[in-house]
Structure 1
């Protein structure tokens, strides 16, 4: 097998150079940030008990995160009201993705604990990953890379600026 050709992703340099990526919980930082920073933080929705944002390192185009505002790492620790609002937000944002991007389906999941794959085990969050027929190809299997066809800024604008009435 020959050496793989590079897949250029210059937007990742900001993450690599960032000094705050390991400083605490990014969901709590975004929760506590001034709403004027929402576009920079890729936050697309704030509820009374939840926050929703674009995944900065998506598995697929349109990959969102929905989290309770409470910094808890297990379902048993989330308040009933927080859990209920998370479910409403999952429904809301899958509907919004369906309206704006027309996916053929979704993967919706939660990883509880580091051993289960949680990248942020201390703050529970759900992943919403839109899926399209044929979206899995040779790149993830052979190239060990996911091709994301839309910039995060463009997707943020699509989901926020043209927001439907909910």
Structure 2
């Protein structure tokens, strides 16, 4: 069996106590009155937000989440589930436009046992991927090279969401 290693996630894992003390960052993003590089919100829908991942697997990694603190996909209301998936679809179109990846991973870790870093607030990951996007740095140096800065990405993603949704 092959294994996928992500040692660059150690910064995220090591900050768990700090995050728990601060409360749910997705709820904080949903409650924010302004979308800024500090909260990394790139799009809002009536009951859904799209946030750039501060600890990305790859540049352009987005999190799509209900605004409401809800952790169970199986009990999410039908209308909210439809909007959530629609926001994932829009996010994929924006990722394609901004990042030009060779593919994308889309998925959710449901519950702590499944690897959810925020197990009580449902969120779906949309991660752009490129052929050969892994290299020796994470394995040998415990460093993940992300080829773009979050603030620059944040602005490009906000602009692309606005353009795609006819808000530009």
| TM-score of the superposed pair, with normalisation by structure 2 | 0.82
Could you tell me how far 1:95 is from its partner in structure 2? Answer: 0.5
Q: Among 126, 129, 142, which residue is 2:127 paired with?
A: 129
Q: Which runs of 5+ in 2 are unaligned?
A: 1-10
Whichever of the two has the greater Rg, that structure is: 1
Could you tell me how far 1:131 is from its partner in structure 2? Answer: 0.3
Q: Among 18, 38, 41, which residue is 2:39 paired with?
A: 41
User: 1:68, 1:78 within 8 Å by CA — same for their partners in 2?
Assistant: no
| TM-score of the superposed pair, with normalisation by structure 1 | 0.83
Could you tell me how far 1:99 is from its partner in structure 2? Answer: 0.9
What's 1:113 paired with?
111
User: 2:94, 2:164 within 8 Å by CA — same for their partners in 1?
Assistant: no
Q: Among 135, 138, 143, which residue is 2:136 paired with?
A: 138
Which secondary structure state, in structure 1, belongs to the residue aligned with residue 37 of structure 2? helix
Q: Measure the CA separation in 2 of the matches of 1:144 and 1:82.
A: 39
Could you tell me how far 1:127 is from its partner in structure 2? Answer: 0.6
Q: Measure the CA separation in 1 of the matches of 2:27 and 2:153.
A: 22
Greater RCO structure (CA 8 Å; 6+ sep): 2
Q: Measure the CA separation in 1 of the matches of 2:75 and 2:68.
A: 9
What's 2:65 paired with?
67
Could you tell me how far 1:76 is from its partner in structure 2? Answer: 1.7
Could you tell me how far 1:21 is from its partner in structure 2? Answer: 6.0
Q: Which runs of 5+ in 1 are unaligned?
A: 1-11
Could you tell me how far 1:22 is from its partner in structure 2? Answer: 2.7
Alpha carbons of 1:20 and 1:112: their partners in 2 closer, same or farther (altered >3 Å)? closer
What's 2:55 paired with?
57
